Structure 1
Amino acid sequence: MQQTMQQRRPHSTANGTENGHTATTNGHSSGHSDDPSISRDQRRIERREAKKLREQKKTTRRVKRRHSGWIHDPNLQLGILSFVLFALIGFTAFKLMHSNKTTRPDPIQRFEQKLQSKSNHGLLAKLRGGSKYIIPESMRNIGCRKDWYTELRREYDTHIYPKDDERSLKWVAEHRQRQGIYTQSPLASTPYDIFHCPTYPPEGYPVQWPVLDVLKNWSPDDPTPHYQLYQGLCVFDYRTELDKANNYRERELPFLVRNDPAAARTAERWNDAEYMKKLLMGKEDTNRRTEYSPNNHFMYWVDKRPRDVKKAQWKEMNERRRRGEEVHDGFGRGDQEELAEAMKEMEEVNEIKAQLEAAKRLAEDNPEDEAAQEELHRLQREMKRARDRVAQESAENWHPPTENLRMTYLEWLEHANVTDDKLGPDNPHWYFRLIGCGKMGEHTEDGSCDKGSSEWLFDELTYFQPREGDERPFYMINPKKQQGIHCRFGMKGVIAENHFDLSRNAINVLYGQRRYILAHPNQCSNMNLLPRGHPSAAFGRGLERSRFGGISGI
């Protein structure tokens, strides 16, 4: 076969260039020749080259470029630039009009916006609730979600007291001005200005004074304000001095904070008598905890009397009430003769205690002295007998200093709103109380730590909510250990005395005025604390006033 083909094309050459040509059709090129002299090898090469060209043309696509001349149009460029410039000017003007005349970011506002976004409870909750009002800064699982309270807040938040921090803070400042301006007594100097305290607590902060000086300046039984007082606590502005306040808090030292916008909003609502009637009566009309005392003194106590003794007392009281008598189980200061006898026994205990301490030192210094050792043992036995007498006196003669009752807010208000001639220290007083259980209710059978608990306190006092992380309110040290919110309504002249507390409480005064006389823990030895086991243990019968130091605050 090879010979035959070579004979038919005797003039073919190896490279196939002689008598050959190239043709192009529709973009495809192929090489061929009709010249019989082209050899078989040359044809094979031509076919391979033509095949390669066809394959290359299949993978190569031509893209038609669009005309982009409009980009270079100067009129169009000027129009786009003008539009962007006017949009930027409009956005800047809008921000200036709606940012309280300042472009500086407000950390308080950012914090509240974060809480508000959390309180919206998500899209699904909104869809389920329809048009139900979402209380600003409310929590998902803590607070009141009853319809009557939600509608009350909608009415006041929308129409009566819409959020306006400047208005609320101005109202608080005017209210404080109407109550009178307190100044430092000339006899109560401090090495620091309480309204311009240093960044970190100075040495010796807070200044203390002998309690006799503090009480002489203003007697606790006198509810009339004395505008010159002993004040050793620093006063910080929430809006500008929160970092300072935090430095004092980290040292576990007391201080005052003013001008908190959230607290100002609550105070503005709570000073509205109509709002308080609706809030505390609403549709629940609950009898709430109220303490009664025949005088102005309210001391903490826990009833440790045997059950049969308490039942007999209650039975006698109920019988006398059925006969129309006004009977109370509280005795306030107690019988004065019994109190004098109890104080005499306590003084004997203190005298023996002083002798015992001296005997211990003598016995330790003279271990071989038999007389010193015998005197120590004698005083130890005498101390035990004296303590037993005090315990027996407490068990036999102790009476509850106050009586625990329940009444509605309006009933308490009727007792509290009396003329000054009925507000003396020896006249009856009532102390109204609300409790918001929060997480404390998780461990109770009915989910509540108190009958008729006021869970809306967490929606009213949002700065006491047990939030954690970057949402934690400034006043909450450890939200997980919060023991609810306890709210007191005290009529004029009420004294909650000798209160000894190891917890780090934060107190918010929302209406009226409240005076505090604080003492450093190093003063406990001078407070004549009642012994362990007493119903009012850790609270004092009286003070060794010549040595006791006090800090006055209002």
Structure 2
Amino acid sequence: MLLRRSPLKKKQNDNDGTCSTLPLSSPRGTTSRNNKQSGLSMSTTTIPGDDLKHILTVTTGVMMVVLLAILSTSMTFHGGGGITSFGRKAFHGRTSSWKAGYYDAETFPWKGMSRPASKILSDRRHRSTFSTSTNEKDGLTNDTSNFNDKSPFYLELRKSYESFFPPDHRHRSLDVVKSLQNYQLDAYSNPFYDIHNCPDIPPEGYPFQWNLWNEVLAQWPADDTEPPASGTIYQGLCIFDFERDHDKALRYRDDELPFIVRGDPAVAETVERWNTPYYLQALLGDVPQGVEYSDNSDFLYWTNANSRPDADWKPPTQHLEMTYLEWMEKANVTDERLVQPGMPHYYFKVVGCASGGQRNGVDHDGGSTTQQPCSILSAGEHVPYLMDEMPFYTQTHSSLYIKDTVQGTETKAINCRFGMKGVKATNHFDGERNFVTVFQGVRRMILAHPDQCSKLALFPPRPSIGPSFHGGLESSRFERISRLRFCHGERSGVATGR
């Protein structure tokens, strides 16, 4: 299921008091010229899946205002019946009849593969040993020119995977998404529209919102990683089928309104790959990536915008480096006593440039597998294979997800984040359009209209830096203050994931 949200437009006056995040193309510590545009305040909580206790979120800032899309591989809304669980089965057990007997993950040929840490020299040394021809007979990938990642390793990984799960089996991939769903939740109704059958023209006041303190957080506290026992959540966003409601979704997108999309075969293919045992382990390999560490479950975005910070100031999080498996050892905790809100949490991230614009530092002869930074969200090198894994985010042509295509060097970044159980992003305001896709695990998102920013405990503006678009209160303190000062704040919440 995809959920797309954009900033809610005010109908009667300009939103001159709204907050905005820095666009991906702006340097750190600067203020975006899009500050006056609408956006959505948002906080997120990572909720556990069944056996995997982590989720991944991909964000690409390719549009001018906030726009959010989520792929849920955990649950999906149906008719008037809310979210229906399909139950968990053996991996691909219900969809793999096309290749009987291949249910044992131990037989997967990519199990022993792993992207080497010193990959650039290795890739150049062995570049000529791989075929670059197209095999029309089996339809498998045999040409590195089709990929943003030109490394022989990535070509071999995809060939290995596609020999087992041939591409373009859309029904198989969509069925895999269904087989991964495991939550049953209903949505409270609202008096203005049916979220499962929204009108062609967005209704006035869409989306419907509820009181933050008395309803949303009273029913489901921010620190609670389990869905409410009632099985019902506050969810006012329209839910569209990718194919049946495509034109309707485009209208809501062009009106810069949030919504959910489900049933995109291209996204389902990525869900299938990334939920296949050993694939992510091989894809990310032994290459260290950025990890944020927090002493508790709250994560506040910050930069060194002020060259002379206060003497007693210390960063709210630490920036570390780990391989995927090193992070998994810390994040995949099953003992509930070790994943309480006040205990250490780790947030793993991988950043990549999307194809389309010129990217400084890329070896166009086919050797390099890293790129220079194209995002303010990370100072490290960016991997090229994220674009290959998510071709629906291609920025060279318009689509439901990409309204404004790239030109010249305006390539935007794709930011992948793996959060362990309970990780929470503090209140913040996104000033550009963002599509977020959850491939694995469950993530809860609480959204607010930009006219609620003054009630959400965001940091005040500073003359030397400009407006602040983030809040610094820990969730428990925020909830206590909400009763006194922010009780009239309105939000709409949605939980989505595997």
What TM-score do you get using the length of structure 2 for normalisation? 0.62
Helix, strand or coil: the match of 1:497?
strand
| C-alpha contact 2:358 2:411 (8 A) present in aligned 1 | no
CA distance in 2, matches of 1:441, 1:291: 29
1:250 to 249, 254, 274: 254
Q: 1:159 to 1:400 in 2, by over 3 A?
A: same
Q: 1:137 to 1:159 in 2, by over 3 A?
A: closer
* Structure with higher helix content: 1
| C-alpha contact 1:440 1:448 (8 A) present in aligned 2 | no
CA distance in 2, matches of 1:395, 1:139: 51
* 1:399 equivalenced with 2:343 (yes/no): no
CA distance in 2, matches of 1:270, 1:156: 11
| C-alpha contact 1:293 1:403 (8 A) present in aligned 2 | yes
The Cα shift of 1:451 comes to: 3.4
Partner of 2:366: none
CA distance in 2, matches of 1:474, 1:139: 27
| C-alpha contact 2:347 2:420 (8 A) present in aligned 1 | yes
| Structure 2 residues not aligned, in runs of 5+ | 1-129, 363-370, 374-378, 473-477
Helix, strand or coil: the match of 1:262?
helix
The Cα shift of 1:241 comes to: 0.6
Matches within 5 A, 1:322-361: none
| 1:208 alignment partner AA | Q
CA distance in 2, matches of 1:273, 1:529: 41
| C-alpha contact 1:238 1:258 (8 A) present in aligned 2 | yes
| 1:545 alignment partner AA | F
| C-alpha contact 1:208 1:550 (8 A) present in aligned 2 | yes
CA distance in 2, matches of 1:170, 1:138: 28
CA distance in 2, matches of 1:442, 1:287: 25
Partner of 1:303: 304
Partner of 1:513: 442
| C-alpha contact 1:305 1:395 (8 A) present in aligned 2 | no
Q: 1:536 to 1:515 in 2, by over 3 A?
A: farther
Q: Deviation digits for residues 416-463 of structure 1, max 9, x if unmatched?
A: 111222111011110010111236984645641153422111111010
Partner of 1:414: 329
Q: Deviation digits for residues 259-288 of structure 1, max 9, x if unmatched?
A: 10011111011011311111110xxx2110
* Structure with higher strand content: 2
The Cα shift of 1:289 comes to: 0.7
1:219 to 209, 221, 234: 221
CA distance in 1, matches of 2:151, 2:140: 11
Q: 1:171 to 1:266 in 2, by over 3 A?
A: same
| C-alpha contact 2:216 2:491 (8 A) present in aligned 1 | yes
How large is the RMSD of aligned CA atoms in angstroms? 2.9
CA distance in 2, matches of 1:484, 1:550: 28
Q: Deviation digits for residues 98-119 of structure 1, max 9, x if unmatched?
A: xxxxxxxxxxxxxxxxxxxxxx
Moved more, 154-163 or 238-247: 154-163
| 2:164 alignment partner AA | H
Q: 1:288 to 1:128 in 2, by over 3 A?
A: closer
* 1:448 equivalenced with 2:452 (yes/no): no
The Cα shift of 1:529 comes to: 2.2
| 1:180 alignment partner AA | Y
The Cα shift of 1:141 comes to: 8.5
Helix, strand or coil: the match of 1:395?
coil
Q: 1:200 to 1:430 in 2, by over 3 A?
A: same
| C-alpha contact 2:195 2:236 (8 A) present in aligned 1 | yes
* 1:473 equivalenced with 2:407 (yes/no): no
Partner of 2:152: 147
* 1:539 equivalenced with 2:470 (yes/no): yes
* 1:434 equivalenced with 2:350 (yes/no): yes
The Cα shift of 1:247 comes to: 0.9
| 2:168 alignment partner AA | K
| C-alpha contact 2:186 2:232 (8 A) present in aligned 1 | yes
| Structure 1 residues not aligned, in runs of 5+ | 1-126, 308-393
Q: Deviation digits for residues 45-86 of structure 1, max 9, x if unmatched?
A: xxxxxxxxxxxxxxxxxxxxxxxxxxxxxxxxxxxxxxxxxx
CA distance in 1, matches of 2:144, 2:239: 30
| 1:538 alignment partner AA | F
Partner of 2:293: 292
Number of residue pairs matched by the alignment: 333
The Cα shift of 1:189 comes to: 2.9
| C-alpha contact 1:529 1:538 (8 A) present in aligned 2 | yes
Partner of 1:184: 187
CA distance in 1, matches of 2:466, 2:320: 19
What TM-score do you get using the length of structure 1 for normalisation? 0.56
Partner of 1:84: none
Partner of 1:103: none
Q: 1:306 to 1:279 in 2, by over 3 A?
A: same
CA distance in 1, matches of 2:250, 2:167: 30
Partner of 1:273: 277
CA distance in 2, matches of 1:139, 1:553: 39
Flag the structure with larger Rg.
Answer: 1
Matches within 5 A, 1:221-240: 221-226=223-228, 227-240=231-244
Provide the identity percentage: 39
Helix, strand or coil: the match of 2:273?
helix
Which has the higher relative contact order, 1 or 2, with Cα contacts under 8 A spaced 6 or more apart? 2
| 2:401 alignment partner AA | Y
CA distance in 1, matches of 2:131, 2:173: 33
The Cα shift of 1:526 comes to: 1.5
| 1:539 alignment partner AA | H
| C-alpha contact 1:156 1:162 (8 A) present in aligned 2 | no
The Cα shift of 1:161 comes to: 4.7
Moved more, 296-305 or 427-436: 296-305
| 2:459 alignment partner AA | L
Partner of 1:485: 414
| 2:284 alignment partner AA | L
